[in-house]
Structures are given as structure tokens and as C-alpha cells.
Amino acid sequence: MASFTIGFIGLGNMGAPMAHNLAQAGHKVQGYDTAGTTAEGVSVAQSADSACAEADFVITMLPNGAILRSVAAQVLPAMKQGATLIDCSTVDVDSARDVGAQAAEMGLGFVDAPVSGGIGGAAAGTLTFMTGGTDAAFAAAQPLFDIMGQKAVHCGAAGSGQAAKICNNMILGATMIATCEAFALADKLGLDRQKMFDVVSTSSGYSWSMNAYCPAPGVGPQSPADNDYKPGFAAELMLKDLGLSQQAAQAVDADTPMGALAHALYAEFVEVEDGKGRDFSAMLPRLAARSRSREKP
């Protein structure tokens, strides 16, 4: 496999292990993060544009669309002709499309490639990438996806990766709430949680939230519920993704009442209650403590 020079912008909990895996695979990786964080095997650049000047690929892992636009304005002019920008952030669709258009105007490749798999997947190199961009840009980026993850799906033109991610996570947020509601109802009906899991996990209520990430401690495969709801996927990140789904739905006039309600419930949980810093499955103890009036007993 060819060896590439890679600029990596954003060495946080996700970006640092992704950059490390690329370096470990033999690529020359130069990293930059405004917080000064580093990654093993990755050389430290003094600025975002200096990290990208000689790069064949630039990878960004950033908090939101506004920051992506700001970083793109800085690094795109610094990138060499024919290089490709791979944005692995989860941002709004319009930001991804706009940055993709700017890259194309400058003769650069662009792939939006948000990920699924969390911090553990980033460290293990088992992420799933949902990607948007031209066929040529996706093909160019594929060898890097093979190092950082186990699967990359080309979903269409620029912005399609973000669209796929927010649609997936809207389903996830809504099904987690429904799963937690069902356990809370089962408690009040006197139904043992393990018995409920045994039935639902093999019946029509089957879902990833129930079967792979059960929100009830001691039930099903090990999950954050078994670690006092310390985040595997934090509630505030779910809130962010649900917010992006509703922003997109409003932009295209899509009716998403369940997504809107899930967004409202996670907003209350994170911004008003004690959900910040807890796993998104901590909706279960929240709902189990409430009465039908939605007041704590």
C-alpha cells in the first residue's frame, strides 16, 4: 500500500486514536488541535494550515458545522492541488455540501464521512463511515477508511454521509426512548426486566437499543448501564444529532414528529436535568422515577 502524508485536524477523543492508527499503518501524519492535544506517532504542527500544506489527505474531526466552515476556510487554500479533504465530523448537511463545493472549486477532493462506533471503535479501528462525495474522492479515501474502520458506505454526493448519519441517529434516539419507556412500564406492571428482555429481544420489539445496548443494568450484553451509565455515547451527543435531524427536516419540510419529540426529551434531560455527562441510555432511570404526569414521584 502506498504511503501518504496526512494532515489531521482535531485530536480529541475520536480524532487522536484515528490519527494514531493511520501513523501506525505507516503513513506520515501531522496533527493539530486548538487544545494542544496530541496522538502517539503523530507529529505536532504549529497551525492547521501548516499541518495540511504538503498533505495528500487532510482529515478533520470537529465539533460542529460552524467550526468546520472556519477550519475549511483556513486549510483549503493551503492544500496542494489534487489533495482530498475528508471530514469525519458530524455536522449539518448544508455545511458539508458548502465545504464540498468550495473544495471542488479549488480542484480538491472532498468526502464527508461521519462515523459510527464511538471511542472504542476509533481505538480499535472498527468504525463505520457513512460517506458522501464523488466516486473518485471516495475511491481515493478508501485505503484510509480501511485502516480507521471496518466498513465505509458511499451514500451519494457531498452531504449524503451526513444525511445518513442523522437519519440513523434519529432512529436510535427514538428507539432508545421507546425501549426505556417499555422497561419503566414493565417495572410498574410487575414484569421482571430479564423476562421482558428474553421476550422482546427475540420478538417484534427487537432493536439495537434493546439487543446490543440494553439500558437496563444486568440485562443483555454488557453496556454503559452496567457501568453506572458512564457514556459510551453521551446524552449531549445524542441531543446534538437529534438537533441536526430536526434542522434538516425543517429545511426540506419533512414531517418528523417522533424525531422532534425525542429531541425535546433529550433537551430536557441534558439542559434542565442531570443528563449531561451520562450515557444516552440513562433515559431509563429518568423515566422509571416518573409518574404518568411526568413528575418525579
Residues annotated catalytic, as ranges: 165
3-state SS of the chain: helix, strand, coil percent to 5? 50, 15, 35
Are the beta carbons of 265 and 287 closer than 8 angstroms? Answer: no
Distance CA 83, CA 297 (A): 59
Angle among Cα 18, 232, 110 to the nearest 5 degrees reads 35
The answer to whether residues 127 and 13 touch, using CB atoms and an 8 Å cutoff, is no
Bridge partners, residue 6, by sequence: 29, 57
| DSSP H or E segment with residue 130 | strand 127-133
CA distance 188 to 291: 10
Q: Give one DSSP letter per residue of 219-275, joined into a string.
A: SSS--GGGGTT--SSBHHHHHHHHHHHHHHHHHHT---HHHHHHHHHHHIIIIISS-
